[in-house]
């Protein structure tokens, strides 16, 4: 297993020395929010940490150290604020925090950043902040969300992957593997989604897809979760974690070997434009 350096465990001089080795900084971005009656509020934090550990097992020691930043545990969770326990940043606050992390990475002399996301509601803020960090600091910023990774074949039904958007079999299976004692097994159930109901009726407009409607969690199910959590098993979770971890390790490696000279610079673009005006 590759040693993962923890940003917070290092001293300033140690971090500065690591920065000379052209490392990859990894920022875990998650959420503290309701996950129904069966999963704890920090489910996204636990899953994100578990996938990073799995990626460490699959990332061979090549050219770049991996430095894991302190997790950004609060995310943009407006869609879950109708339920007790959710702590949410606004989109603007989330972008500000992301930019602060990125500024610290750049200030340490690190040029490569992977923002690893385990909460769907963070995507828009990450997209905007990543572009701003690219513009402001010249960083290579890679955006990765595990729920966009391809799951292992025959692990979960296609309908579950499409409609079990929150607290369903996917998250429950991984929690049964990563933190089984924290799953309230007596509360496991099937939580039908309004999205699945619409799809069964032939509608193409759903909560996600090529055309989706903005939704709050209670719009899809009164309990704020969707998917058949009762069908999840720890064995499924183990396969999911290992497969997603392998994909994350591949992303780290491709980030490490990315040719930074292929990225343009604002100063070069401005100079070219200025020269053309002469």
State the CATH class of domain 4-260.
alpha beta
Residue 117: which of 126, 129, 107 has the closest Cα? Answer: 126
Residues with Cβ within 8 Å of 233's Cβ and at least 6 positions away in sequence, in order, are 173, 176
Instruction: Give pLDDT, residue 108.
Output: 98
Token readout for 184 is: 């309230």
| pLDDT score at 276 | 47
Q: Are 116 and 28 in contact (CB under 8 A)?
A: yes
Give the mean pLDDT per block of 10 residues along the chain (278 residues): 88 98 97 98 98 93 87 98 98 98 98 98 98 98 97 93 96 98 98 96 96 97 98 98 97 96 66 42
The confidence score (pLDDT) of residue 266 equals 60
pTM of the model: 0.93
- 3-state helix, strand, coil split of the chain in percent (to 5) is 50, 15, 35
Tell me the H-state helices in the chain.
12-19, 43-58, 91-107, 123-137, 158-163, 169-178, 194-200, 217-220, 234-256, 266-277
């Amino acid at each position: 297993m590759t040693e993962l350096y923890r940003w917070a465990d290092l001293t300033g001089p140690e971090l500065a020395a690591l920065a000379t080795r052209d490392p990859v900084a990894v920022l875990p971005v998650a959420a503290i929010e309701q996950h129904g009656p069966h999963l704890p509020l920090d489910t996204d934090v636990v899953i994100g940490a578990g996938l990073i550990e799995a990626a460490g097992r699959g990332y061979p020691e090549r050219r770049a150290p991996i430095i894991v930043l302190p997790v950004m545990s609060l995310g943009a969770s407006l869609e879950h604020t109708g339920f007790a326990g959710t702590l949410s940043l606004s989109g603007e606050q989330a972008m500000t925090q992301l930019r602060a992390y990125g500024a610290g990475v750049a200030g340490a002399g690190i040029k490569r950043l992977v923002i690893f996301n385990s909460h769907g509601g963070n995507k828009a803020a990450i997209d905007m902040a990543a572009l701003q960090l690219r513009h402001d600091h010249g960083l290579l910023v890679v955006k990765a969300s595990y729920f966009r990774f391809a799951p292992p074949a025959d692990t979960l039904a296609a309908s579950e992957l499409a409609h079990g958007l929150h607290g369903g079999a996917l998250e429950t299976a991984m929690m049964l593997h990563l933190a089984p004692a924290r799953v309230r097994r007596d509360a496991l159930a099937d939580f039908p989604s309004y999205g699945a109901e619409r799809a069964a009726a032939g509608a193409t407009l759903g909560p996600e897809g090529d055309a989706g409607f903005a939704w709050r969690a209670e719009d899809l199910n009164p309990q704020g979760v969707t998917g058949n959590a009762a069908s999840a098993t720890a064995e499924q979770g183990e396969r999911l974690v290992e497969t997603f971890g392998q994909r994350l390790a591949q992303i780290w490696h491709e980030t490490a070997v990315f040719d930074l000279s292929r990225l343009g610079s604002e100063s070069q673009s401005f100079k070219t434009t200025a020269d053309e005006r002469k």
